[in-house]
């Protein structure tokens, strides 16, 4: 606890906290709007609000440097995004096979069950949210702003720099998890991501843990822009499967 003797809040850069709070608010707002469109069946109001939520989030992310659309000119970003979907599918199938072997059943996670019900009630709103809005906001919240907050807090507590503008406030983009602090930061975002999907048992934790692991690998290896592509394509694939007659 010796570090508290030198603790000075004036030297902290609170930008990561502001970014995380904003993305958390937009994430929760999107879910609330989606629930309202389902319960009331009001697409006239709900869909424009969902689009507005997405537009505001993207504008903020670009303005603050959280997201760089210029990186989409790099073909490797798209390549990693597409390969990420294939990897997610392979790992998910393997994980489900292991779960089936151990439990002799394939459980439907609560989040997946809610998705199926939502698509039946309001297909337009759910498709729009799941395939476009949610992937962008979730990647910004769980794999960018939350890890940045964890990382910057740890760094700033141990830093001797007095000027807030000189503090290290973002997890370094190195292509690997560069340090124990970066690992802890990403772990915090990953647990938050899994928990937000309401896992009911260990099988659910494994299912969403697999998704989180692949998304995180793509995000660390080729950046947030690539993990957004993977997330969008994966959710779109999941939606297509829902509409295939069984």
Hey, CA dihedral for 150, 154, 156, 157, is it positive or negative? positive
**CB-based burial label for 63 (10 Å; 0-12, 13-18, 19+):** exposed
pLDDT band at 108 (very low <50, low <70, confident <90, very high): low
Q: How far is CA 232 from CA 52, 129, 132, 166, 184, in A?
A: 18, 10, 6, 35, 26
What are 59-77's pLDDT values in tens digits? 999 999 999 999 999 999 9
Nearest-angstrom CA–CA distance, 58 and 9: 30
243 pLDDT higher than 80: no
Q: What is the pLDDT of residue 113?
A: 66
Among candidates 169, 149, 171, 144, which has minimal Cα distance to 227? 144
At 41, is the pLDDT very low, low, confident or very high (cuts 50, 70, 90)?
Answer: low
Ramachandran quadrant class, 155 (left: phi over 0; alpha: psi -120 to 50; beta: rest): alpha
Burial-class residue 72 by CB neighbours within 10 Å (0-12, 13-18, 19+): middle
What's the farthest any 2 CA atoms get from each other in the chain?
64
If one compares 156 and 79, the residue with the highest pLDDT of the two is 79
**Stated pTM of the model:** 0.89
Least confident range of 135-139, 171-175, 218-222, 230-234: 171-175
Place of tokens 């843990």: 209
HEC string of 81-106?
HHHHHHHHHHHHHHHHHHHHHHHCCC
The 3-class secondary structure across 9-25, one letter per residue, is HHHCCCHHHHHHHHHHH
Q: Token digits for 44?
A: 């006239």
Give the residue with greater pLDDT, 162 vs 25. Answer: 25
Read off the pLDDT of residues 170-213 as tens digits, 9 standing for 90 and up: 998 888 888 889 999 999 999 999 998 888 777 778 888 989 99
Nearest Cα to 223, choosing from 155, 174, 152? 174
pLDDT of 215 reads: 95
User: What are the residue ranges of helices labelled H in the chain?
Assistant: 15-40, 43-63, 75-103, 110-121, 123-128, 134-140, 146-158, 180-196, 202-222, 224-242
């Amino acid at each position: 606890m010796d570090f508290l003797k030198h603790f000075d809040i004036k030297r902290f850069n609170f930008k990561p906290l502001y970014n995380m709070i904003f993305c958390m608010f937009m994430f929760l707002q999107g879910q609330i709007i989606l629930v309202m469109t389902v319960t009331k069946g009001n697409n006239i109001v709900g869909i424009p609000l969902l689009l507005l939520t997405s537009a505001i989030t993207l504008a903020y992310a670009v303005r603050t440097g959280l997201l760089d659309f210029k990186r989409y000119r790099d073909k490797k970003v798209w390549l990693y995004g597409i390969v990420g979907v294939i990897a997610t599918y392979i790992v998910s199938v393997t994980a489900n096979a292991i779960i089936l072997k151990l439990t002799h059943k394939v459980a439907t996670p609560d989040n997946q069950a809610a998705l199926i019900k939502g698509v039946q009630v309001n297909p337009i709103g759910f498709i729009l949210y799941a395939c476009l809005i949610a992937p962008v906001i979730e990647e910004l919240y769980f794999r960018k702003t939350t890890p940045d907050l964890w990382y910057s807090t740890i760094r700033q507590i141990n830093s001797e720099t007095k000027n807030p503008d000189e503090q290290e406030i973002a997890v370094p983009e190195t292509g690997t998890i560069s340090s124990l602090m970066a690992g802890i930061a990403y772990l915090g975002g990953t647990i938050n991501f899994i928990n937000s999907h309401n896992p009911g048992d260990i099988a659910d934790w494994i299912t969403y843990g697999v998704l989180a692991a692949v998304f995180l690998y793509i995000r660390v290896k080729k950046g947030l822009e690539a993990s957004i592509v993977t997330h969008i394509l994966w959710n779109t694939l999941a939606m297509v499967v829902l509409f295939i007659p069984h």
